[in-house]
Amino acid sequence: MLILAGLGNPGAQYAKNRHNLGAMTVRACAERWRFGAPRKRFSSLAREGEIPTESGAQRALILEPQTFYNDSGQAVSEAMSFYKLTPSDVVAFFDEIDLAPGRFRMKTGGGAAGNNGVRSIIARIGPDFRRARMGTGHPGHKDKVLGHVLSDFHKVDTEWVSAMIAACAEALPLLAAGEDARYQAEVMRLAPAEKLDPRAPGRGTDS
């Protein structure tokens, strides 16, 4: 069993926020691979399904935690404990201000880098889970970060946001097979984005 957790905040008022990019993405993954209908489990909206890989189907559980972003670890730990999994069976999808808009990086382990959702997961299951980091850009000053992540994407962002979400869903069999480096490369091939300074004014920022 693989757990794919998409970080975000519950409620219509947050649905299009940058902070909900992870939740948007796992929802697209569930739709692309025809997962079951969402059910309220593990403090989340949870969907079960299978992802095809070259070696056979990989069972997966997609979670949209309903505990709010900063308490994402509760949902992840509940599901991980129920299925008796390890942190390496967990992939968290989340918005990353320290990557330029549209950039995508996979990483395993490490610290929270100021992300309270990631910090919550670390507190519950330890640091050794897999992270799908989805760049949204940095507003340029730390005092602007909260307003930035809790604001909706701009209309000009629609194209790259949609492309990155679709690429993450389409390439999912590579992630399910444990080939994180190939998954990262395929996402960026399907949805290329310039490697820019994440603090530079431009798309995805409120500067």
Q: Could you tell me if residue 164 is inside a domain?
A: yes
Residue 109, CA atoms < 13 Å, CB-side half-sphere = 1
- Residue 22's domain comprises 2-190
Q: Could you tell me if residue 201 is inside a domain?
A: no
Report the domain count for the chain: 1
> Which pTM does this prediction carry?
0.95
pLDDT, one tens digit per residue, over 137-196 is 999 888 999 999 999 999 999 999 999 999 999 999 999 999 999 999 999 999 999 888
Q: Could you tell me if residue 195 is inside a domain?
A: no
Q: Could you tell me if residue 206 is inside a domain?
A: no
pLDDT, one tens digit per residue, over 150-164 is 999 999 999 999 999
Q: Could you tell me if residue 203 is inside a domain?
A: no
Does residue 77 register a pLDDT over 70?
A: yes
Q: Could you tell me if residue 198 is inside a domain?
A: no
CATH of the domain at 150: 3.40.50.1470
Q: Which residues are catalytic?
A: 19
Does residue 48 register a pLDDT over 90?
A: yes
Sheet strands side by side (includes 56-65): 39-41, 44-53, 56-65, 2-6, 90-96, 130-135, 104-108
Residue whose entry in the numeric block shows the structure tokens 């320290």: 98
